[in-house]
Chain A
Amino acid sequence: MNDVKYLIGNENITVSPLPTFSEEVCNFLNDLSKAILQSPAGRLYPDLSALAFWSRKGNIQKIKEIYNQQEIRLGRGLCFHIAPSNIPINFAFSYLFSLLAGNANIVRLPSKDFPQVNELVSIMKSVFENYSEIEKRTAFVKYGRNNEITQSFSQKADARMIWGGDNTIATVRQMSTKPRCVDIAFADRYSVCIIDANKILEADEKTMQRLGENFYNDTYLMDQNACSSPQLIYWLNDNDQAREKFWNIVLKTAQQKYDLQDAICVDKYTKLCEDAIDNTEFIKRTTNTGNLLYRSELKKLSAYVENLRGKGGYFYEYSLSDIEEFLKIVNEKYQTVTYFGIDAKKLADILLVHNIAGIDRIVPIGKAMDIDIIWDGHDLVRELSRVISYS
C-alpha cells in the first residue's frame, strides 16, 4: 500500500456516518462554492465553476427540500469512489453526492494530471480548516494500475461508486466486499437527440445561436465521447430547410470553438470508411463539410443502430415518422435523450405507458453533461444512505 499517494487525508479515516443533508455538510458545500468562485481557477476552468454553481447554498437547499424530511437517514459508512480517468472534475461531484448522503469517502482521483484537479484539491484543503469532522472522513488518493490497492479499499467499503465503463465495472466487481456493500456502477451508455423540425423553422436567430452553443457543449466539448453525448439525431416533422438551419449553426459554432486534433481527424475519417464497409445496410448517404462535421443519414432503424458511434463531430440522423418508431428500438443501454421543441413530460409519460427498458434522462439540448444527484437512473443520495424505519 506504499504506492498510494494521499492528496487529502490518510489511512486513518473516520468512518462513523453523518445524517443525510447534515447542516455541517451543507455549510461546507456552500463555503466550498464561495472559495472556488473567489479563486482565479474558478474563473479559468468552466468545470470548476459548474461545481461551484451546483454546490451553492440555494441549490443544495432546493435539493434538500425535495427529499422527504420525515425520513431519518444516515450515511452507509465508507464510500469508495473510482473516478473516470478522463473527466477531470467528475470525482468531486461523486464525492459531494456521497458526502450529502452522510458517508466518509475514499476517492481515487484520475491518474492523469489535470490542473483544475490540483487547484480544487488545494481549495478544498483551505476550506477543511473550518470543517475538521468532514476532513477526517475524507481521503483523496492517487495510484497507478494496481488491483491489490483497489481490492483493499473495496474490502473496507460500505458503498462503491464505480465510474469508467463496462471493463472497469467487470474488474472491480470481481473484488470481494462486505456482504452489505452497495455498488453503484456507471456502465457504458448510449444517448440520442430528438428535434422537432417545425420548431427549428420557427426559431429566431438568437434562439438558434444559443441552440448551436448548447449542442456544441453536449457533443464537441467532450469530443462526443461522453455517455450522455448524443450519437443519433432524430428529426420529427422532418424538413430539409430545418436541417440546414440547424447544422449550419452547429458548424458555425464548431468552427469558432473546436480544436480538431490530427488524431481525431484521422479517426473520424477512418470511422467513415469503416461505416462504408460495415454499415452500408444502414447508411443512405454521408454529408461532410470539411472535417469538422460529418453526418450519415440512416435508411432504416433497428436495435443495431446503437452500435453506430461517432466521435469528434460525426453524427447519424434519421427522419422519424413518429415517436413510437423510435421507442421500438430503445433498450436498457439508452441513457439520455436531449431534445428541442418537444414536451419532455409527455415523452416521459409515453415511456411509462410503453414499458420502455431504457432512457433515464430527458433534458433540453445543452444539459447533456449536467450531472446531479439523480444520475443514470439512480437517486444517489438515497442509495448511498440508509433509512431508519420506526413505528
Chain B
Amino acid sequence: MFNYQDILNTEPFSLSQKDKNELLCSCLKELTEFHYKNCESYKKILDILNIDFEDLTAVEKIPFIPVRLFKEYELSSIKKDDIFKTMTSSGTSGQAVSKIFLDKETAANQQKTLVKIVSSFTGAARMPMLIIDSPSVIKNRLMFSARGAGILGFSIFGADRTYALDDNMNIDISAIEAFLERHKGQKILLFGFTFMIWQYFYKELKKLNHKIDLSNGILIHGGGWKKLVNEAVSKEDFKKSLNEVCGLKSVHDYYGMVEQTGCVYMECEHGHLHASVFSDVITRRTKDFSLCEKGEKGIIQVVSLLPKSYPGHSLLTEDEGIILGEDDCPCGRKGKYFEIKGRIKNAEIRGCSDTYERR
C-alpha cells in the first residue's frame, strides 16, 4: 500500500494533470484492492460489475459507487474496535444521513490534507478567526454533523476563534466589534456556510444598516448554493452584496462532501474550483457514464486518496458540473479546474403510486 505521508509532502497544486493521473491511478488501484478485501459489500458490488483488476489502468477506469449508498448501508473497511469517530452528513430531520466510519489514521490524514490545501490559499500563519455560525452547532460532539465537522476542521487555521452568531442564530454585533477591535489592522479569517452567511449575517447587517469593516478579511464558505439559487442569488451577487455591507474583498467558495472530508476543492481568485493532487473530479455522461469533454456538463464523480477506513475513494455524486480546463487556469494552479452546476434535477417519476400525500 502506498504511503500517504509521502504524498502529503507534494505541494497541492504543483503536479500537471498527466503526472497527477499517474500518481492517482496507481494509488486508487491499491485502494480499490484494499477495500475489495476488507469490505464485504464493496466486494459484492465489484463482483456484480465484473471488475477486472488488471484492467484498472487509468483513473477513469477505477469503479465508482453511488454516494447514496452511505446513507443506506454501513460501509466500512475497518474492524468495529478501530472506529475512532463516525461522521454524518447534515440531513434535515426525516432525511437519511450518510454515515462515514473513520479510524485514527484516516481522520488524521483528513485533517492534514485540509491544512495543506487551505493554507496554500490563506498562508501558513494562523489568523484571528471569525466563524459565521452559532457555537451551538459544535456543542454536541457525540455525533459530528457536517456543519460541525466543517467548523472544527477549519478551526485549526484560526486563532481567537469567535462566533458571529449567538446560540439562537442572531447576529452578535458586540462580539464581532470586540473581535475586530482586538485585531485591528490584522488579516482575518472568516468561515461559514454559504446559506447561513447570506441569511443570518448579510441580511441582518443590511437590515440593521450597521457598517463593519472586514476589508482585511478572507472568507471561506461552502455547503452549496441550492437555497440561494431558490432566492435567485448568484455567486456574483453574493460577493458583491457582502462587499457592500462589510467591505469583504477576498471570498472563496469550496466544494466538498462529508463522504470525502479533507479533500476540499477551493475557489481561486478567478472563480474556478481547483482539484488538488490528493483528489480529482471526473464528469460523466448520463447515457453510458462515458467521459465528458471539457466544457460539457455531466454527473460528477470524485476520487480521493484519503478514504482508507471506508470504501469512499471513488464516488458517483448527485451533483452536476463542468470541467473548465487542465493546468492552465490564469491563477497558475496545476491540475483540473471546474464549476459546479448544482444537484441533478429530481426526476419526474411517472407511474401510478404516491397519490395522496399523507400529512
Interface readout for B158-195 with A: 1 if CB under 8 Å, 0 if not?
00000000000000000000000000000000000000
Contacts of B299 in A (CB 8 A): 262, 265-266
Contact between B345 and A270, CB atoms less than 8 A apart: no
B278 shortest CB reach to chain A, Å = 25
A124 interface residue (CB < 8 Å to B): no
Contact between B66 and A270, CB atoms less than 8 A apart: yes
Contacts of A311 in B (CB 8 A): 349
Stretch at the interface among B15-23, B123-131, B285-293: B285-293
Nearest neighbor of B47 in chain A, beta-carbon distance: A276
Contact between B352 and A165, CB atoms less than 8 A apart: yes
A157 interface residue (CB < 8 Å to B): no
Contact between B351 and A263, CB atoms less than 8 A apart: no
Q: Which of A247-276 contact B (CB under 8 A)?
A: 260-267, 269-270, 272-276
- Complex: A38 Cα to B184 Cα, angstroms: 77
Question: Which of A85, A223, A270, A276 has its CB near the most chain B CB atoms (within 10 A)?
Answer: A276
B144 shortest CB reach to chain A, Å = 25
B350 interface residue (CB < 8 Å to A): yes
Choose from A167, A186, A270, A286 the contact partner of B358 (Cβ within 8 Å): A167
Contacts of A83 in B (CB 8 A): 355
Contact between A290 and B288, CB atoms less than 8 A apart: yes
- Complex: A87 Cα to B44 Cα, angstroms: 37
B318 interface residue (CB < 8 Å to A): yes
Question: Which of B47, B287, B345 has its CB near the most chain A CB atoms (within 10 A)?
Answer: B287
- Complex: A239 Cα to B349 Cα, angstroms: 34
- Complex: A172 Cα to B50 Cα, angstroms: 46
Contact between B352 and A164, CB atoms less than 8 A apart: yes
- Complex: A238 Cα to B299 Cα, angstroms: 38
A292 interface residue (CB < 8 Å to B): yes
Instruction: Using A164-B352, A263-B344, A269-B316 as known contacts, list a sample of 9 further A-B pairs with CB atoms less than 8 Å apart, ordered by residue number in A.
Output: A110-B355, A171-B358, A223-B350, A262-B286, A262-B320, A267-B347, A274-B72, A276-B45, A290-B287
A48 interface residue (CB < 8 Å to B): no
Given A262-B345, A273-B45, A277-B41, decide whether A168 and B286 contact each other with a Cβ distance below 8 A. Answer: no
- Complex: A167 Cα to B47 Cα, angstroms: 36
- Complex: A263 Cα to B65 Cα, angstroms: 15
B68 interface residue (CB < 8 Å to A): yes
Contacts of B356 in A (CB 8 A): 82, 85, 145, 150, 164, 167-168, 171-172
Which 8 A-B residue pairs are closest in the complex by CB-CB distance? A164-B355, A225-B351, A290-B288, A263-B347, A168-B356, A165-B353, A276-B48, A262-B344
- Complex: A261 Cα to B350 Cα, angstroms: 12
A-side residues, CB < 8 A to B, are: 82-87, 90, 110, 145, 147, 150, 163-165, 167-168, 171-172, 186, 188, 221-223, 225-227, 229, 260-267, 269-270, 272-277, 280, 283, 285-286, 290-292, 311
Nearest neighbor of A146 in chain B, beta-carbon distance: B359
Chain B's interface size range is: 35 or more
Choose from A147, A227, A261, A276 the contact partner of B347 (Cβ within 8 Å): A261
- Complex: A277 Cα to B41 Cα, angstroms: 5
B357 interface residue (CB < 8 Å to A): yes
Choose from A150, A172, A276 the contact partner of B44 (Cβ within 8 Å): A276
Q: Which of B328-359 contact A (CB under 8 A)?
A: 344-359
Contacts of A274 in B (CB 8 A): 69, 72
- Complex: A273 Cα to B46 Cα, angstroms: 9
Contact between B354 and A165, CB atoms less than 8 A apart: yes
Contact between A87 and B350, CB atoms less than 8 A apart: yes
B40 shortest CB reach to chain A, Å = 9
Contacts of A82 in B (CB 8 A): 355-356
- Complex: A221 Cα to B358 Cα, angstroms: 27
A73 shortest CB reach to chain B, Å = 28
Contacts of B318 in A (CB 8 A): 263, 266
Q: Could you give 29 example pairs across A and B, Cβ below 8 Å?
A: A84-B355, A85-B356, A86-B349, A87-B350, A87-B351, A164-B353, A165-B352, A222-B350, A225-B351, A226-B350, A226-B352, A227-B353, A260-B287, A261-B286, A263-B345, A265-B299, A266-B299, A266-B344, A270-B69, A273-B45, A276-B48, A280-B47, A280-B48, A285-B48, A286-B50, A290-B287, A291-B286, A291-B289, A311-B349
Contacts of B50 in A (CB 8 A): 285-286
Contacts of A269 in B (CB 8 A): 66, 289, 316
Choose from A163, A223, A273 the contact partner of B355 (Cβ within 8 Å): A163
Contacts of B346 in A (CB 8 A): 263
B259 shortest CB reach to chain A, Å = 14
Contacts of A223 in B (CB 8 A): 347, 349-351
- Complex: A275 Cα to B50 Cα, angstroms: 14
Contacts of A165 in B (CB 8 A): 352-355
Given A226-B352, A291-B286, decide whether A145 and B359 contact each other with a Cβ distance below 8 A. Answer: yes
Contacts of B320 in A (CB 8 A): 262
Contact between A292 and B287, CB atoms less than 8 A apart: yes
Contact between A260 and B286, CB atoms less than 8 A apart: yes
B89 shortest CB reach to chain A, Å = 16
Nearest neighbor of B357 in chain A, beta-carbon distance: A145
